[in-house]
Amino acid sequence: MSFLTYLKDGISLGSVYAIIALGYTMVYGIAKMLNFAHGDVIMVGAYVVLMLLTKAGVPGILAVLIAMAVCTVLGITIEKVAYRPLRKASSPLAVLITAIGVSYLLQNIALLLFGADGKTFVDVIKLPSLSFGDGALIISGTTIVTILACIIIMVCLTLFVNKTRQGHAMQAVSEDKDAAQLMGVNVNGTISLTFAIGSALAAIAGVLLCSAYPIVTPYTGAMPGIKAFVAAVFGGIGSIPGAMIGGILLGVIEILSKAYISSQVADAIVFGVLIVVLLVKPTGLFGRNIQEKV
């Protein structure tokens, strides 16, 4: 395979990371917590789509929309039941451990419902491939949709955060919850909205991830979740373009490492790059501007 093919694969995987990272970075920016369960929402989204397609025969687009709705409700519920009571806890570790508990919970519910064996994901995206240079570089429909989705989501989010009332509320809450409250911002509502958006994005990411790597297990979301957080930190936590660029860089580095160095140490290289970046720039690539926090 040529370098261009690897690069394309890397950008495609990176776009999935970027979409997860966008959700992660928004949630982190506003709730200031490492939401370990975020990755597992991806897995839930993937299973919902799979079930709707195979068991209920729902058309693809509709299935994705339903999955987004399910994940949105799930995200809001998790925040309300498990995280909100701990928002003012005396140690930030409390909510971190609870998030880990939620992650175990989602994984084990999936384990009970679907078993530990991987389920083959079905094609949701039925677009023809594009071929360049007499087949030297073939870009599948899935890849095209993934990259387009990533770009559209980033643009929409940026507009939302900067141009809308709710977006401004998000920025205010992420800056200072108490001050935002005094200014009349509905803090609880804003945090719920952020979790809703993040979870809906996770559902989309789940579909895209499993379209590219078509096996779903209860643990499908765990590692991508961690990597997406790495991507978010890499780009500067709280920064929307940072999450996008961090995600894509991460995907490219991972695929190129697998191709040219060794598939076994690809993760080590990804994490190594993160460490180097943080040591040089402790707030990540785009983390300088605190005002950009969402």
Partner 1 sequence: MRDMGNNTELVKRMRRKTLRGNLLNYVIVLGAYAILQTMVMTGNISSLLKGLLVPLCVYVIAALSLNLVVGISGELSLGHAGFMCVGAYSSAFFSNAVGTALPDILRFILAIFVGAAVAGLFGILIGIPVLRLKGDYLAIVTLAFGEIIKNLLNVLYAGIDSNGLHFSTKSAMDLGMEPTGRQIIKGALGISGTPKNSTFTVGIILILITLMVVQNLINSRAGRAIMSTRDNRIAAESIGIPVTKYKLLAFSISASLAGCAGVLYAHNLATLNTKKFDYNTSILILVFVVLGGIGNLTGSIIAAVILTALPEMLRFLNNYRMLIYAIVLIVIMLFNWAPAALDMRSRLRSRIFKNRGSGNGKEEEQNGNA
Look-up of token digits 């373009």: 241
Interface residue with partner 1 among 265, 288, 289, 290 (CB under 8 A) is 265
Nearer to partner 1, 63 or 106 (CB): 106
CB of 28 to partner 1, least distance (A): 8
Q: How far apart are CA 188 and CA 126, in angstroms?
A: 40
Tell which positions 198-257 bind partner 1, by CB under 8 A: 226, 229-230, 233, 237
* Part of the chain binding partner 1 (CB under 8 A), chosen from 164-172, 178-186, 243-251, 264-272: 264-272
Q: How far apart are CA 71 and CA 42, in angstroms?
A: 8
Q: Which amino acid is at 203?
A: A
Contact 145, 127 (CB under 8 A): yes
Interface residue with partner 1 among 136, 152, 183, 275 (CB under 8 A) is 275
Using the rule CB under 8 A, is 91 a contact of partner 1? yes
Using the rule CB under 8 A, is 34 a contact of partner 1? yes
The footprint of partner 1 on this chain (CB under 8 A) covers a number of residues equal to: 43
Q: How far apart are CA 115 and CA 218, in angstroms?
A: 8
Q: Which two tokens stand for residue 9?
A: 């694969």
* Part of the chain binding partner 1 (CB under 8 A), chosen from 15-23, 92-100, 190-198, 245-253: 92-100
Using the rule CB under 8 A, is 278 a contact of partner 1? yes
65, burial (CB in 10 Å: exposed 0-12, middle 13-18, buried 19+): middle
With H, G, I as helix, E, B as strand and everything else as coil, classify residue 152.
Answer: helix
Q: Which residues of 122-144 are buried (b: 16+ CB within 10 A; e: fewer)?
A: eebbeeeeeeeeeeebebbebbb
Look-up of token digits 């076994």: 264
CB of 143 to partner 1, least distance (A): 27
Other beta carbons within 10 angstroms of residue 187's beta carbon come to 16
CB of 94 to partner 1, least distance (A): 4
Tell which positions 107-146 bind partner 1, by CB under 8 A: 107-109, 111-112
Q: Which amino acid is at 156?
A: C
* Part of the chain binding partner 1 (CB under 8 A), chosen from 5-13, 15-23, 169-177, 265-273: 265-273
Interface residue with partner 1 among 98, 146, 192, 194 (CB under 8 A) is 98
Interface residue with partner 1 among 1, 62, 101, 132 (CB under 8 A) is 101
Contact 224, 21 (CB under 8 A): no
DSSP 129: P
CB of 152 to partner 1, least distance (A): 28
Interface residue with partner 1 among 4, 61, 73, 89 (CB under 8 A) is 89
With H, G, I as helix, E, B as strand and everything else as coil, classify residue 36.
Answer: coil
- Residues near partner 1 (CB under 8 A) are 28, 34, 36, 82, 85-86, 88-94, 96-98, 100-102, 104-105, 107-109, 111-112, 226, 229-230, 233, 237, 262, 264-265, 267-268, 271-272, 274-275, 278-279, 282
